[in-house]
Amino acid sequence: MVPIIADDAILYPAATLRVRFRKTGALQYISHLDLVRTFEKVLVRAGLPLWYSEGFNPHPRFSFSTPMSIGLESLYELMDVKIEKKVNCEAVKEALNRNLTAECVVEEVYYPDTKFTDISLASYEIVLQTAGADEALAEKCGAALRGSPVTVLKRTKSGEKETDISPMIIKSEASFAEGKILLAVTLTVDNEKFLNPEYIVTYLKETLGVLSGSPLEEAYSILRTGLYGKSGELFR
């Protein structure tokens, strides 16, 4: 087995390592903060040469690309970790995966040359399993999201506010397949313009009455499929 640590010398300053992973299934029900806690332990278990903050209560440093709200599955998440020694990326990936379940899988580990602040857009696949789903309803959903304004009650720092989110919806396409409505949307995720995809579902619920039946028969899922830079290129 290739060792995790490639070189025992301590790096000054600490290096940043990027981990790309997906999280599906049960992991969607874990809050962002709990995922942070989980990863802290995963990183220790995996034996990474973590860089610890100075001071009274030293902690490893790592951060996630974008907030992950409850109910969100994702094929494209990024995490940056500070490390104090040079590592073999492939070995790190394997060690992480040994310490994760099948619902959370690391796809790639590399030394990045970009910063999370450059992330601008995220793409999502939203599936609605709702009564009345057909071609026509799918079309209506797509049109509703392409229209303007798209007004929702949005949580902001200063409480809930009626907000037109149409400028944050960059793309939306709807289709109908296997009894379900599929939405492919691209939303802004810049710091001030972060749009939680839940609002898309909420808006359709309120305006078109989708998903108003029993939770035993109806459901929806939200899957993040990619993160993009300002000009729409895939963010790495």
Partner 1 sequence: MNQKLLSGILKSVSKPGRYTGGEFNSIIKDKSKVDVRFAFCFPDTYEIGMSNLGVRILYEALNQKENVWCERVYAPWVDMDEKMQEYGIPLSAHESGDAVKDFDIVAFTLQYEMCYTTALHMLKLAGLPLLAKDRGEDAPVILGGGPCAYNPEPVADFFDIFSIGEGEEALPELCALYAEMKKSGRYTKSAFLREAAKLEGFYVPSLYSVSYREDGTIEAYTPLYEDVPKTVRKRIIKDLDEAVYPEKLVMPYIETVHDRVVLEVNRGCIRGCRFCQAGMVYRPIREKSPEKLCKLAKCLYENSGYQEISLISLSISDYSRIAELTDLLLEWTDERHVSLSLPSLRIDSFSEELMKKVSSIRTGGITFAPEAGTQRLRDAINKNVTEEDLMQAVGIAFGAGKNNVKLYFMNGLPTEEVEDVVAIADLAKKVVHRFYQTPNRNKARPVSVTVSVSCFVPKPFTPFQWVGQDTLASLKEKQEALRLAIQDKKIRYNWHDAEVSHIEAVFARGDRRLSAALLLAAEENMMFDAWDEFFSFEKWLDVFARAGIDPAFYANRTFGLDECLPWDIIDCGVSKSYLKREYERAYRHETTPNCAEHCNGCGANKLGGKTKWCR
Residues near partner 1 (CB under 8 A) are 25-27, 29-31, 33-35, 37-38, 40-45, 52, 56-58, 70-71, 99-101, 103, 211, 214-216, 218-221
**Cβ of residue 117: shortest distance to partner 1, in angstroms?**
28
**Cβ of residue 156: shortest distance to partner 1, in angstroms?**
22
Q: Classify burial at 218, counting beta carbons within 10 Å of its beta carbon; exposed 0-12, middle 13-18, buried 19 or more.
A: middle
* Closest to partner 1 by CB, 143 or 153: 153
Which phi and psi (to 5°) does residue 118 adopt?
Answer: -85, -5
Neighbouring residues of 15: CB distance < 8 A, sequence distance ≥ 6: 82, 83, 84, 86, 111
79 near 64, Cβ under 8 Å? yes
Instruction: Please tell me the distance from the alpha carbon of residue 89 to that of residue 66, in angstroms, as a whole number.
Output: 22
Instruction: Please tell me the distance from the alpha carbon of residue 59 to that of residue 54, in angstroms, as a whole number.
Output: 8
Q: How far is CA 111 from CA 61, 90, 91, 120, 168, in A?
A: 15, 12, 14, 20, 31
* Closest to partner 1 by CB, 216 or 231: 216
Instruction: Please tell me the distance from the alpha carbon of residue 62 to that of residue 109, in angstroms, as a whole number.
Output: 14
* Closest to partner 1 by CB, 41 or 230: 41
**Cβ of residue 147: shortest distance to partner 1, in angstroms?**
26
* Closest to partner 1 by CB, 1 or 158: 1
**Cβ of residue 120: shortest distance to partner 1, in angstroms?**
27
**Cβ of residue 22: shortest distance to partner 1, in angstroms?**
15
**Cβ of residue 83: shortest distance to partner 1, in angstroms?**
14
* Closest to partner 1 by CB, 32 or 86: 32
189 near 145, Cβ under 8 Å? no
* Closest to partner 1 by CB, 24 or 175: 24
**Tally of CB atoms within 10 A around 131:** 13
